[in-house]
Protein backbone atom coordinates (compact mmCIF):
# COMPACT_ATOMS: atom_id res chain seq x y z
CA UNK A 1 0.00 0.00 0.00
CA UNK A 2 1.30 3.42 -0.96
CA UNK A 3 0.31 6.09 1.52
CA UNK A 4 1.46 9.69 1.43
CA UNK A 5 1.32 11.79 4.58
CA UNK A 6 0.04 15.35 4.71
CA UNK A 7 2.12 18.52 4.69
CA UNK A 8 2.28 21.01 7.53
CA UNK A 9 -1.12 22.37 8.49
CA UNK A 10 0.26 25.84 9.27
CA UNK A 11 -1.71 28.43 7.32
CA UNK A 12 -4.53 26.03 6.45
CA UNK A 13 -8.06 26.52 7.73
CA UNK A 14 -8.81 23.78 10.31
CA UNK A 15 -11.62 21.37 9.53
CA UNK A 16 -12.06 19.52 6.25
CA UNK A 17 -15.71 20.57 5.96
CA UNK A 18 -14.53 24.17 5.95
CA UNK A 19 -11.94 23.26 3.30
CA UNK A 20 -14.74 22.23 0.97
CA UNK A 21 -16.68 25.46 1.42
CA UNK A 22 -13.96 28.08 1.31
CA UNK A 23 -11.41 29.10 -1.27
CA UNK A 24 -8.04 28.10 0.15
CA UNK A 25 -6.22 27.66 -3.14
CA UNK A 26 -5.18 24.05 -2.70
CA UNK A 27 -8.43 22.55 -1.43
CA UNK A 28 -11.18 23.85 -3.73
CA UNK A 29 -13.53 21.25 -5.16
CA UNK A 30 -12.23 20.44 -8.66
CA UNK A 31 -14.56 21.40 -11.53
CA UNK A 32 -16.88 18.78 -12.98
CA UNK A 33 -15.04 17.33 -15.97
CA UNK A 34 -16.75 16.33 -19.19
CA UNK A 35 -17.13 12.56 -19.49
CA UNK A 36 -16.90 12.63 -23.28
CA UNK A 37 -13.09 12.61 -23.20
CA UNK A 38 -10.54 10.74 -21.05
CA UNK A 39 -9.22 12.58 -17.99
CA UNK A 40 -5.50 12.86 -17.32
CA UNK A 41 -3.70 11.38 -14.34
CA UNK A 42 -3.13 13.85 -11.53
CA UNK A 43 -0.12 16.01 -12.25
CA UNK A 44 2.55 16.59 -9.62
CA UNK A 45 0.98 19.97 -8.81
CA UNK A 46 -2.47 18.39 -8.50
CA UNK A 47 -1.07 15.65 -6.24
CA UNK A 48 0.35 18.30 -3.92
CA UNK A 49 -2.84 20.37 -4.14
CA UNK A 50 -5.54 17.77 -3.55
CA UNK A 51 -4.13 14.62 -1.96
CA UNK A 52 -2.79 15.92 1.40
CA UNK A 53 -6.18 17.31 2.56
CA UNK A 54 -7.81 13.97 1.70
CA UNK A 55 -5.09 12.05 3.53
CA UNK A 56 -5.70 14.13 6.64
CA UNK A 57 -9.24 12.73 6.85
CA UNK A 58 -8.37 9.11 6.11
CA UNK A 59 -8.00 8.68 2.34
CA UNK A 60 -4.91 7.07 0.83
CA UNK A 61 -3.40 6.26 -2.55
CA UNK A 62 -3.47 2.47 -2.79
CA UNK A 63 -1.48 0.48 -5.33
CA UNK A 64 -3.17 -2.70 -6.58
CA UNK A 65 -0.65 -5.39 -7.49
CA UNK A 66 -3.39 -7.44 -9.14
CA UNK A 67 -4.76 -4.59 -11.26
CA UNK A 68 -1.36 -2.86 -11.63
CA UNK A 69 -2.91 0.53 -11.05
CA UNK A 70 -3.43 3.15 -8.36
CA UNK A 71 -6.71 3.91 -6.57
CA UNK A 72 -7.97 6.46 -4.07
CA UNK A 73 -9.40 4.62 -1.05
CA UNK A 74 -10.88 5.24 2.39
CA UNK A 75 -12.81 3.52 5.18
CA UNK A 76 -15.75 5.14 6.97
CA UNK A 77 -16.82 4.00 10.46
CA UNK A 78 -20.63 3.98 10.71
CA UNK A 79 -23.11 3.28 13.50
CA UNK A 80 -24.47 0.07 11.97
CA UNK A 81 -25.86 -1.73 8.94
CA UNK A 82 -28.87 0.55 8.35
CA UNK A 83 -26.68 3.63 8.55
CA UNK A 84 -24.22 2.04 6.13
CA UNK A 85 -27.03 1.34 3.64
CA UNK A 86 -28.23 4.95 3.80
CA UNK A 87 -24.67 6.17 3.27
CA UNK A 88 -24.22 3.77 0.34
CA UNK A 89 -27.41 5.12 -1.23
CA UNK A 90 -26.07 8.66 -0.89
CA UNK A 91 -22.77 7.58 -2.44
CA UNK A 92 -24.74 6.03 -5.29
CA UNK A 93 -26.55 9.33 -5.87
CA UNK A 94 -23.24 11.19 -5.93
CA UNK A 95 -21.89 8.66 -8.43
CA UNK A 96 -24.93 9.09 -10.68
CA UNK A 97 -24.74 12.89 -10.52
CA UNK A 98 -21.01 12.83 -11.30
CA UNK A 99 -21.36 10.02 -13.86
CA UNK A 100 -18.38 8.46 -12.11
CA UNK A 101 -18.78 5.31 -10.04
CA UNK A 102 -16.53 3.77 -7.38
CA UNK A 103 -14.24 0.90 -8.29
CA UNK A 104 -15.20 -0.93 -5.11
CA UNK A 105 -17.57 -0.43 -2.20
CA UNK A 106 -18.02 -2.88 0.68
CA UNK A 107 -19.25 -3.02 4.27
CA UNK A 108 -17.82 -5.08 7.15
CA UNK A 109 -17.28 -4.60 10.88
CA UNK A 110 -19.21 -1.31 10.90
CA UNK A 111 -16.90 0.16 8.27
CA UNK A 112 -17.77 1.15 4.73
CA UNK A 113 -14.80 0.87 2.35
CA UNK A 114 -14.72 2.85 -0.90
CA UNK A 115 -12.13 2.84 -3.69
CA UNK A 116 -12.26 4.93 -6.85
CA UNK A 117 -10.15 5.29 -9.97
CA UNK A 118 -10.60 6.32 -13.60
CA UNK A 119 -10.38 3.33 -15.95
CA UNK A 120 -9.80 5.33 -19.12
CA UNK A 121 -7.31 7.81 -17.66
CA UNK A 122 -4.49 9.26 -19.75
CA UNK A 123 -0.91 8.94 -18.54
CA UNK A 124 1.53 11.86 -18.72
CA UNK A 125 3.33 12.18 -22.09
CA UNK A 126 5.86 9.37 -22.36
CA UNK A 127 8.73 9.32 -24.84
CA UNK A 128 9.08 5.95 -26.59
CA UNK A 129 12.36 4.14 -26.03
CA UNK A 130 14.59 2.69 -28.71
CA UNK A 131 16.21 3.79 -31.93
CA UNK A 132 12.92 4.92 -33.46
CA UNK A 133 11.93 7.04 -30.47
CA UNK A 134 9.47 9.66 -31.61
CA UNK A 135 7.27 12.29 -30.06
CA UNK A 136 5.96 11.65 -26.53
CA UNK A 137 2.66 9.77 -26.51
CA UNK A 138 -0.23 9.44 -24.06
CA UNK A 139 -1.23 5.98 -22.86
CA UNK A 140 -4.79 5.20 -21.82
CA UNK A 141 -4.27 3.44 -18.49
CA UNK A 142 -6.23 3.33 -15.20
CA UNK A 143 -5.17 5.89 -12.61
CA UNK A 144 -6.29 8.64 -10.25
CA UNK A 145 -7.67 11.78 -11.90
CA UNK A 146 -9.51 14.94 -10.89
CA UNK A 147 -12.76 13.01 -11.33
CA UNK A 148 -11.68 10.70 -8.51
CA UNK A 149 -10.57 13.60 -6.31
CA UNK A 150 -13.89 15.38 -6.81
CA UNK A 151 -15.83 12.17 -6.08
CA UNK A 152 -13.79 11.54 -2.91
CA UNK A 153 -14.32 15.09 -1.66
CA UNK A 154 -18.08 14.92 -2.23
CA UNK A 155 -18.31 11.55 -0.47
CA UNK A 156 -16.23 12.88 2.43
CA UNK A 157 -18.46 15.93 2.78
CA UNK A 158 -21.59 13.74 2.80
CA UNK A 159 -20.07 11.50 5.46
CA UNK A 160 -18.92 14.33 7.73
CA UNK A 161 -22.22 16.17 7.53
CA UNK A 162 -24.53 13.19 8.03
CA UNK A 163 -22.86 9.96 9.16
CA UNK A 164 -19.62 10.50 11.06
CA UNK A 165 -20.13 9.07 14.59
CA UNK A 166 -17.53 11.38 16.11
CA UNK A 167 -14.96 13.75 14.61
CA UNK A 168 -11.79 12.09 13.46
CA UNK A 169 -8.57 13.44 14.87
CA UNK A 170 -6.42 14.91 12.08
CA UNK A 171 -3.34 12.89 11.34
CA UNK A 172 0.12 14.18 12.07
CA UNK A 173 1.21 16.61 9.40
CA UNK A 174 4.91 16.37 8.53
CA UNK A 175 6.47 18.15 5.60
CA UNK A 176 5.55 16.83 2.12
CA UNK A 177 7.49 13.64 1.36
CA UNK A 178 9.88 13.63 -1.54
CA UNK A 179 7.65 11.20 -3.43
CA UNK A 180 5.18 14.06 -3.96
CA UNK A 181 7.73 16.60 -5.10
CA UNK A 182 10.26 14.75 -7.25
CA UNK A 183 7.93 12.91 -9.64
CA UNK A 184 8.89 9.47 -8.33
CA UNK A 185 5.24 8.64 -7.59
CA UNK A 186 4.24 8.89 -11.24
CA UNK A 187 7.41 7.18 -12.41
CA UNK A 188 6.86 4.38 -9.91
CA UNK A 189 3.32 3.83 -11.17
CA UNK A 190 4.58 3.67 -14.75
CA UNK A 191 7.30 1.18 -13.79
CA UNK A 192 4.93 -1.06 -11.82
CA UNK A 193 2.49 -0.98 -14.72
CA UNK A 194 5.23 -1.99 -17.15
CA UNK A 195 4.92 1.18 -19.24
CA UNK A 196 8.29 2.35 -20.61
CA UNK A 197 9.32 5.96 -20.31
CA UNK A 198 12.38 8.06 -21.02
CA UNK A 199 14.16 9.75 -18.11
CA UNK A 200 15.13 13.40 -18.42
What is the spatial order of strands in the sheet that 111-116 belongs to? 60-64, 69-77, 111-116, 104-108
What's the rounded mean pLDDT across residues 174-181? 58
Q: What does pLDDT average to over the chain?
A: 76
Could you report the per-residue pLDDT of 135-164, keeping only the tens digit for each? 788 888 888 999 999 999 999 999 999 998
* Percent of the chain whose predicted confidence (pLDDT) is above 90: 30
Q: How far apart are CA 103 and CA 117, in angstroms?
A: 6
| Band of pLDDT at residue 177, cut at 50, 70 and 90 | low
What's the rounded mean pLDDT across residues 68-78? 90
| Band of pLDDT at residue 1, cut at 50, 70 and 90 | very low
Do 171 and 55 contact (CB within 8 A), yes or no? yes
| Band of pLDDT at residue 16, cut at 50, 70 and 90 | very low
**Range name among 4-8, 14-18, 109-113, 140-144 with the lowest pLDDT average:** 4-8
What's the rounded mean pLDDT across residues 94-107? 93
CATH class in words for 16-30+41-131+141-192: alpha beta
What's the rounded mean pLDDT across residues 78-95? 94
Q: Where are the domains of the chain?
A: 16-30+41-131+141-192
Provide the pLDDT for residue 96. 94
Provide the pLDDT for residue 14. 34
User: Looking at the whole model, is its pTM more than 0.85?
Assistant: no
With b for 16 or more beta-carbon neighbours within 10 A and e for fewer, the 152-191 pattern comes to bbbbbbbbbeebbeeeeeeeebeebeebbeeeebbeebbe
User: Would you tell me how many other CB atoms lie within 10 Å of the CB of residue 107?
Assistant: 16
Amino acid sequence: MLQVRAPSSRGLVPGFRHYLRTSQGNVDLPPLLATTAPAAWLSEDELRQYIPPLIRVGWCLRWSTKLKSCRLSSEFPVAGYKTAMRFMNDVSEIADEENHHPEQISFANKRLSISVQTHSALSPPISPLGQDAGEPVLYKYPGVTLRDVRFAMLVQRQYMENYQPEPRKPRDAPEPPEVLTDGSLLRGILECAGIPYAAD
